[in-house]
Amino acid sequence: MTHHARAAAVLGVLALAGGCALQEPYVRDNHWDPRSSATKSLSGPDSVFAMGDTFRVTLQADPPLPPGAFYTWRGNEMYEGPPPPTLVYPAGDGLFRVVSSTATFEVIAVSALFDGVAVSRQVRVGQRVQSYTFSCGVACDALTWQAGTSRSVSVLAADANQVPIRRIEVAMQRGSWLSRDPAVASVAATTANPAGTITISAVAAGTTWIVVRLDRAVDSLRVVVP
């Protein structure tokens, strides 16, 4: 090959290279594309403790969603058969309401839906005892305790929204009760029960306090044995 032919060939290769510039790889950042590399997540509370409570989750996206982006919110309002004991309904843009719950905490998924693809966050939902009163059949302070007798006392408990605790026996499993002076009155070994009752036995003359703790609520019942 002559010098001129070699020069012409080199120029031809350079020309071809100039016309085949490398392109940036195709970026799939469409949040509605199932193969997209875009990321989405929900931030919000880990737990909710009272029936009727509302809570908010925030949708975080990278890259940011375009203005007017369409997606829908869902709790566990879609079910078949009898309603489950714990229900969480969407109540607005990222807002959810606990419609039903019990002392049994359940994990509920709340979601943002993009054409059927769910971005979810799991939240523990249940009732935590915030307050309670004793029920003795009559005014507890008016009870006459005689040594050697026993009485059943019920605990009427409510959550932070003053909704009565459902499945009080579950809250009792988390609770404790004791007598400040078992020589005066004692609390019988108690099996958690749907009525929320404990049995107190008067032992001997004197005064003591029966202390009951349920979740964050603590109260005492005065027992006087003449």
Give the pLDDT band (50/70/90) at residue 206: very high
Residue 14 lies inside a defined structural domain of this protein: no
- For residues 55 and 96, the answer to whether their CB atoms sit within 8 Å is yes
| Residue 10, pLDDT score | 46
47: containing domain = 39-125
Mark which of 125, 149, 166 sits at the end of a domain. Answer: 125
Residue 195 lies inside a defined structural domain of this protein: yes
Instruction: List the structure tokens of 194.
Output: 């749907």
Residue 168 lies inside a defined structural domain of this protein: yes
Residue type, 159: D
Mark which of 74, 103, 125 sits at the end of a domain. Answer: 125
Lowest-confidence segment of 16-30, 62-76, 138-152, 175-189 by average pLDDT: 16-30
Mark which of 101, 125, 149 sits at the end of a domain. Answer: 125
Kindly report the CATH number assigned to the domain that includes residue 216. Answer: 2.60.40.1080
Nearest Cα to Cα of residue 153 among 129, 172, 176, 134: 134
In sequence order, the β-bridge partners of residue 2 are none
Q: 62 and 113 share a domain? A: yes
| Residue 201, pLDDT score | 96
- Is the pTM above the cut of 0.85? no
Locate tokens 């950042």: which residue? 29
| Residue 138, pLDDT score | 85
Tell me the mean pLDDT in the region 144-163: 95
Q: What is the SS3 string spanning 115-162? A: CCEEEEEEEEECCCCCEEEEECCCCHHHCCCCCCCEEEEEEEEECCCC
Q: Quote the CA–CA distance of 108 and 121 in Å, as a whole number.
A: 8
Nearest Cα to Cα of residue 153 among 188, 196, 217: 196
Write down the mean pLDDT value for the chain.
88
21 compared with 153, residue with greater pLDDT: 153
Residue 141, phi then psi, degrees to nearest 5: -70, -20
Kindly report the CATH number assigned to the domain that includes residue 81. Answer: 2.60.40
pLDDT at residue 80 greater than cutoff 80: yes
| Tally of structural domains, the chain | 2
Residue 27 lies inside a defined structural domain of this protein: no
Q: 118 and 152 share a domain? A: no
Rg (CA), the chain: 33
Instruction: List the structure tokens of 215.
Output: 């979740």
Residue 221 lies inside a defined structural domain of this protein: yes
Q: 87 and 148 share a domain? A: no
Tell me the mean pLDDT in the region 96-125: 94
Residue type, 7: A
Residue 10 lies inside a defined structural domain of this protein: no
| Residue 12, pLDDT score | 52
Lowest-confidence segment of 3-12, 30-39, 89-98, 135-144 by average pLDDT: 3-12
